[in-house]
Structure 1
Amino acid sequence: MEDKKLLGNDQPEQEAPQTEAERSLALKVQRLFRESWDSKQQLNLPQLWRKFDDYKHNRQNPKQSEDHPGSTTNVIHRVIESQISDLLDKPYGSVAKGTEPGDDMFSEQAQHMVDFVLDKGDFKEKINLSEHDRLELGDTIIKVWTDKKALSGKGLPVYEIVSPANFFSDPKITAAHRLQESEFVIHATPRALSWYRRQWPKLGKYVQRQVQIPYDPNATFTDDGADEVHVETSMKALLLECYLRDEEGEVYCLHVANDILLEDSRKNQGKLQRRNLFPFVQINCYPRRGTSWGMGDVEYLIPTQDLINELDDQIRINARLMGNPQIVVGQGAGKGFDFRKWTSKPALRIPMRDVNAFRVVPGVPISPDVPVRRDKAFQEADIISGVNDVSRGEKPGQVTAAAAIYALQQAGQKGVIHKNEMLKNGWSKVLGLLFDEIMDNWDEEMWIRIDGEKPDFKFVNPADFKSIPILVPNAMHGEVEGEEPIKQLTDESGKVMTREAEYDFQLSLGNGLPYDKAFVFQTLLDMTKVSFPDGPAVTRTELRKFLRDQVGLDLEDQPEGTQPPEQPPMQPGMPPVGLPQGMPGPMPPQAPPPGMGQPPAQQIPPEILAMIGGVPQ
């Protein structure tokens, strides 16, 4: 009995009560899992992901000998984190666009509910994990489902980031956007034995601890396996959550562990997804041809990272030779001379018969090409990743005008902007899956908080989306006075016909440029100097509002339309109004020296204009 407890089960080992058909389904899931695992091994993905993770976390260029410097100047970490921090600094939100005119009546409510789900799911934290996977490993996978225990039992659609190491899709799919054409999708994750018992009280007790898993996705990364140090902390088993389609195209889910079919959604839940979509979205960083798995920035940056480390090794080795040079000692030193005692220790006394019996071999200075090539490698890393010097907070070269810096930054960040656009496109599919969960499983009215410029509360009823009035063109519009161009469609009895709402969602996540408050403030100051016939481009009230809301200055609100008191026109040579007594007046304007004209206005360099589309008309 004591041995049974070590296996994580207080009951004697016995087979789970399942039929031959159920066991056959469990073995089918295990077989599909192994086949998908073998396809990833064929591409060498687990080994590559382990290498990418090691490089990102400074496990690179190990010491090859005692004298090897093992230099590590981690440019990969800087490149990855700068892109993610720039993305997380932007405001986010959803946009719901109805597919028919009737959907627009509830589009604002749909948008509020999706934003509420994003906020409750810690969107900033999830997007951080998502981008780390995408930029480092080449892919990010987002899973959507409904947590029925959330919100005090009311239920809430949730989303989580699935590691590519735990995701197994149909190898026949050759592109990430074709994931829904897969025959199966498997999410493999280790779970504690106690979790099995809580989730499936009848069958969970038969799940045993797995000591050695032939196909262990958690063995991909170096830091995995920390729970294996003790038996008590390793009471776990691998759960296979397999999504398949039946002959009619209906999606269903099988949960399998230890060759035990724990749950079949066709028996307990009925229709799993209203559009029969797998609850996963896969987003590539850079697509590969012939497979759905993508490539990340780390894979492209590793050769440059190795070059920088090697050049650093050369510089450090040369510095050691220059500081501790080689010495040639002749026979005149005497028999009592001991080389082992001749060290770099200060105030060292060395007995020697002939003090001139040695000669220092001068070290050869390192080639000037080495540090030059090292600096060039840093620039190449930025070119590969698409991150420029302005976005890293460094001083831009040769350009100082604000407009020119803005144009240079936009032109230099085209690669980063492209990545962000593909990220937003993929997350738009996630928002669609979240709305499906709202339609299927969120059926209770409730108050939700709307954050933003003017926080508010909205009372929402998800059932409204299931009975949207069908609107059709009104043939009487224009023929009869007072008729609207669109009317509600009714049946023979005069009852309004309805349909389920359908929306195309978009994720709003900045425009690819840093949302920097100092830059925005400087732009507002510049725009206050621009005026149009109907008023200034930016009013004083709008500028004060930005200083109060974004900068945090304690400024009082002013009534709308209030403008600062006008100052009387200043006469030439007169001091400004309100100038304290004793202060010197303004300096009179001075003419430029003879032979010198007015300094030219600072303009955007022509090479910048070429990058942003040419000279403005």
Structure 2
Amino acid sequence: MNQEEILRPAEPVGAEQVAEATQLLQKYKAGKAALDRRLIDNELWFRMGHWKQYKNRMMEGKPQPSSGWLFNSIASKHADAMDSYPEPCVLPRAADDEATARTLSSVLPVVLEQADYEQVYSDTWWRKLKQGTGVKGIFWDPTARGGVGDIAIRPMNLLMLYWEPGVMDIQDSPNFFSLSLEDTKQLEERWPALKGHGGSTLDVPRYIHDDSIDTSGKSVVVDWYYKRPDETGRPRLHYCKFCNGVVLYASQNDPALAGRGLYDHGKYPFVFDVLYQEEDSPAGFGFIDVMKDCQTSIDKLNQAMDENVLLASKQRYILSDTAGVNEEELADFGRDIVHVAGRLSEDTFHQMQTAGLQGNSLSYLNSRIDELKEISGNRDMSQGGTSGGVTAASAIAALQEAGSKLSRDMLKSAYRAFAKECYLIIDLMRQFYDEERVFRIVGENGQNRFVRFSGQTLRPQPGGNVGGVELGSREPVFDIVISAAKKSTYSRLSQNEMAKECYQLGFFNPANADAALAALEMMDFEGVEKVRDRVRANGTLAQQLAAAQAQLAAFTAQLPQTNQPQTASGGRKALAAALPRPDTAANRGMNLNRK
């Protein structure tokens, strides 16, 4: 059976189709073997255990220092990513969907929180920085919420994922495999059909650990995703789970999903977030691949320097066999007397001197460290350090802002991947949120409000008819804009300082509203629109106040002038008499009584 027949099986999925899928998986594994070796190697580098790769007997007994420059760079990038945790904002493409978009903007963060997305986001970023690619899986878990079902988001191990070699996008791969290693006994208890089907021919690559991990009692479970076009030519996503050649579940064997597919969106439920893109591959390379050579040079220089310091701090002697010196007493520094048989001379006994470190060696080491900082963009300024006499707060802020452009570029790619994840979540809501659900939303003022939501609002809506002609249905379509929900302490401090500067410059003085608005039009910072609205409102209030004062002055000028000065109470009474009274029933009654 060829690949096209796997995509379009004429009969339900069985042992024959699984055998063909297993052969195809072996081809995919062979095409990804080099990437798997690099992933295993990078994990050692991240744990600073790369000396295990140097299998050289000459290295035994020598210092094996592992400096943390590479690790510090990766940890700093991960901290930048967590400071810019994403938050979705759903925008409608049609006016009819504006209310639904607002509801989705409130509901999506709650769904992400219930799926423990922050932990998934953190784990994926570690793998993105180490391996060059972070992968998240967006699934529907029918067992969640007591059987009601809900969306599950999981960080995926790139070492266990396989696709057709040569494709740039996994959606272009005709098949996609996700492997996992699970306990055989638990699998047999869940699926009794597995009993007696041991001895799997599949093998999975493993990371190198310090502990010994026994995998003899485990089996490889394969999640096989593939696309098959329906009668209209639209690709339908199907799913088959098998282990040791036995089909555990297949969507094509399920009458409810045989013609519909697993997910209505028809896409593989995986999102790849690439750090540095490689051609003809959905996976990329990360910081370790770029910095490992420089880190190797730093560690070998540290090894040579440590060995030199140890040799220079230890007394060593050149001793001839004819010197007659008691070697045990000479090597024992606790003895005050060393016995000698015969007469010593410089030819038979003298101390060995080890030259100390040279200044150029230290300079070369520092230059390699600076090179690694430049490569990773992890300069001192980005971590709050100062150099070159820079002490002004504004100068430090400008240097930190310029030094964080690499982090901002990485965040943009992560936000694009996050938008794809949100689209998949909305599609799963549209398909599986049959029952109305209640979500607790925390407002800006800290008050709770409860929003009811179901997938019915996301499904195609009838378009009505014109002149007896049915217009069909229209499915709501949305745009997703990503912003940072969490800011670093430095960002909050910088924005607070800007607010104080605006106050000191008189931006919030109503009399300066026009000038302040002109300045704010040329400024760009987060929340600038709210500041413009506040300044514009202050200017409007100032204009209303000036108009009221002018009207009051006009009324005052119309008061009768007398030669005798009026008291303050008399002036208020005259002003009250001159001002027009509201046309109320009480006033009309008082006027009639006066008549």
- Superposition TM-score, scaled by structure 1 size: 0.72
Q: Say which of 424, 438, 447 aligns to 2:429.
A: 438
Please give the alpha-carbon distance, in whole angstroms, between the structure 2 residues aligned to 1:372 and 1:83. 27
Q: Given the alignment of the two structures, is residue 73 of structure 1 paired with residue 59 of structure 2, yes or no?
A: no
Q: Secondary structure at the match of 1:450?
A: strand
CA positional deviation for 1:368: 1.3
Letter in 2 for 1:264: A
Equivalent residue number for residue 130 of structure 2? 136
- Quick one: which of 488, 498, 503 aligns to 2:478? 503
C-alpha displacement of 1:378: 2.1
Measure the CA separation in 2 of the matches of 1:469 and 1:385.
51
Structure with greater proportional helix content: 2
Aligned residue in 2 for 1:402: 393
In structure 2, what is the equivalent of residue 280 of structure 1?
270
Task: Tell me how far 1:191 sits from its aligned partner.
Answer: 2.3
In structure 2, the residue matched to 1:188 is 179
| Aligned counterparts of 2:435 and 2:114: Cα–Cα separation in 1 | 17
Q: 1:461 to 1:494 in 2, by over 3 A?
A: farther
What is the CA deviation profile of residues 551-596 of structure 1, one whole-angstrom value per residue up to 9, with x for unaligned ones? xxxxxxxxxx9xxxxxxxxxxxxxxxxxxxxxxxxxxxxxxxxxxx
Percent identical pairs in the alignment equals 17
Alignment-derived partner of residue 376 in structure 1: 367
Instruction: Call closer, same or farther: CA 1:407–1:513 in 2, change over 3 Å.
Output: farther
**SS of equivalent to 2:154:** strand
**Correspondent of 1:110 among 104, 115, 118:** 104
Q: Kindly indicate whether residue 305 of structure 2 is the aligned counterpart of residue 319 of structure 1.
A: no
Closer, same or farther in 2 for the Cα pair 1:207/1:20, shift >3 Å?
farther
- Identify unmatched segments of 5+ residues in structure 1: 1-18, 229-233, 471-487, 538-560, 562-617
Give yes or no for the alignment of 1:250 onto 2:236: yes
Cα deviation per residue 1:126-172 (whole Å; 9 max; x = unaligned)?
Answer: 11110111110111111111112222332211111110001111213
Structural mapping, 1:426-575, within 5 Å: 426-451=417-442, 453-455=444-446, 456-466=448-458, 490-492=465-467, 498-509=473-484, 517-532=492-507, 534=509
Is the 2:25–2:177 Cα contact (8 Å) retained in structure 1?
A: yes
User: C-alpha displacement at 1:291, in angstroms?
Assistant: 2.2
Displacement after TM superposition at 1:513 (Å): 7.0
Is 1:351 the counterpart of 2:342? The answer is: no
Q: 1:55 to 1:124 in 2, by over 3 A?
A: same
326 and 313 in structure 1: CA distance in 2 versus 1, 3 angstrom threshold = same
Amino acid at match of 1:113: V
* TM-aligned CA distance change 1:375 to 1:250, over 3 Å: same
Residues 434 and 456, structure 2, Cα contact 8 Å, conserved in 1:
no
> What is the count of residue pairs matched by the alignment?
488
Number of the residue aligned with 2:571: none
After superposition, where does 1:30-429 map in structure 2 within 5 Å? 30-41=22-33, 44-62=34-52, 64-173=58-167, 175=168, 178-197=169-188, 200=191, 203=193, 205-206=194-195, 208-210=197-199, 213-217=201-205, 219-222=206-209, 226-228=213-215, 235-248=217-230, 249-268=235-254, 269-270=256-257, 271=260, 272-329=262-319, 334-335=323-324, 337-343=325-331, 345-352=333-340, 353-354=342-343, 357=346, 358-429=349-420
Change (3 A) 1:303 1:239: same
User: What is the match of residue 552 of structure 1?
Assistant: none
The answer to whether the Cα contact below 8 Å between 1:382 and 1:388 also exists between their aligned partners in 2 is yes
Describe the shift of the 1:529–1:260 C-alpha distance in structure 2 as closer, same or farther (beyond 3 A): same
Q: Is the 8 A contact 2:180 2:221 kept in 1?
A: yes
Range with bigger deviation, 47-56 or 93-102: 93-102
Matched, 1:25 2:54: no
Q: Deviations over 1:483-516 (max 9, x none)?
A: xxxxx86545699975222222243236997655
Per the alignment, residue 562 of structure 2 pairs with none
The structure-2 alpha-carbon separation of the partners of 1:147 and 1:199, relative to structure 1 and needing over 3 Å to count, comes to: farther
CA gap of 1:356–1:86, structure 2 versus 1, over 3 A, is: same
Q: CA deviation at 1:349?
A: 2.5
Aligned equivalents of 2:307, 2:372: Cα separation in 1: 24
Residue equivalent to 2:517: none
Cα distance in structure 2, aligned partners of 1:235 and 1:506: 47
Cα distance between partner residues in 1 of 2:307 and 2:151: 57
Q: CA deviation at 1:430?
A: 0.9
Q: Deviations over 1:75-101 (max 9, x none)?
A: 221111111122213353111122333
Quick one: structure 1 residues 149 and 530, their matched pair in 2 at CA, closer, same or farther if it must change by over 3 Å? farther
For 1:375 and 1:452, the matched residues in 2 are separated by 51
Q: What amino acid is the match of 1:310?
A: K
The 3-state SS of whatever aligns with 1:246 is: strand
SS in 2 for 1:78: helix
How far off is 1:438 after superposition? 0.7
Do the aligned residues in 1 keep the contact of 2:273 with 2:414 (CA within 8 Å)?
yes
The 1-side partners of 2:357 and 2:251 are apart by 69
Q: Partner letter of residue 444 of structure 1?
A: E
Q: Residue 343 of structure 1 aligns to which amino acid in structure 2?
A: A
Letter in 2 for 1:342: L
Gaps of 5+ in 2: 1-10, 514-537, 539-595
Aligned counterparts of 2:481 and 2:214: Cα–Cα separation in 1: 40
Distance 1:319 1:160, change over 3 A: same
Q: Deviations over 1:251-291 (max 9, x none)?
A: 11111111112222123242222221111111211111232
Q: How does 1:588-607 map to 2 (within 5 A)?
A: none
What SS is found at the alignment partner of 1:226? coil
Q: SS in structure 2 opposite 1:313?
A: helix
Match for 1:438: what amino acid? M
Structure 2 letter corresponding to 1:226: I
* 1:240 shift after superposition: 0.9
AA at the equivalent of 1:309: D
Name the stretch that deviates more: 261-270 or 135-144. Answer: 261-270
Partner Cα distance (1:140, 1:91) in 2: 15
Return the offset for 1:198. 6.1
Q: TM-score, normalised by structure 2?
A: 0.75
Secondary structure of residue in 2 paired with 1:298: helix
* More displaced stretch, 184-193 vs 492-501: 492-501
Distance 1:170 1:223 in 2: 33
What is the rounded CA distance, in whole Å, between the counterparts of 1:372 and 1:225 in structure 2? 42
Give how far 1:318 is off: 1.3
d(CA) in 1 for partners of 2:196, 2:494: 58
Q: Considering only CA atoms, is the larger Rg found in Structure 1 or Structure 2?
A: 2
Question: How far is the alpha carbon of 1:534 from its aligned partner?
Answer: 3.7
CA distance in structure 1 between the aligned counterparts of 2:60 and 2:227, rounded to whole angstroms = 58
Q: C-alpha displacement at 1:393, in angstroms?
A: 3.3
